[in-house]
Amino acid sequence: MAADGKTEKTTNRWYKGLDAALAFQVVSSSVDEVVIEYEVAEQHRQPYGIVHGGVHCAAVESACSIGAGLNAMARGQSVVGVENHTSFIRAVREGRIRVTATPLIRGRRSQLWEATARNEKGEIVSSGRVRLFCLDPGPEGAPAPVPWPAEK
């Protein structure tokens, strides 16, 4: 995490789409650890009133993808998730969820990250692993990595 907080501000402005729709907020992000949080709200719940499993999967994938992306970006690469295995441990109906992701393997072609989500009591509510493929820019690979927005 940057001491001046710029990494998290930039990451939150850069990471949009589903993460914005689910109100995920980056607390800290580095090549060694990513922490995101969200407050359980109506958009997270399925008809039985508990957090939808897809939200747990999305939170695990987002945290892991940010970290893997930061690692790959340093080499001019981008990443795509190729496997997400998320286990749902404890039902969640309300409160703040914190997801912490750390790398298990950071290779040039693939990375494996692991994330654990905890409720405010510190209890594990879900955990997962995401395997990501590192893509080189160009016609056979991915487009150039998405540039970080300039600070305002």
Q: What is the pTM of this model?
A: 0.83
pLDDT tens across 30-53, in order? 999 999 999 999 999 999 999 999
Percent of residues, the chain, with pLDDT higher than 90: 76
pLDDT tens across 115-143, in order? 999 999 999 999 999 999 999 987 665 55
pLDDT tens across 47-87, in order? 999 999 999 999 999 999 999 999 999 899 999 999 999 99
Q: Is the pLDDT score of 3 beyond 90?
A: no
| Cα distance between residue 28 and residue 94, in whole Å | 23
Percent of residues, the chain, with pLDDT higher than 70: 80
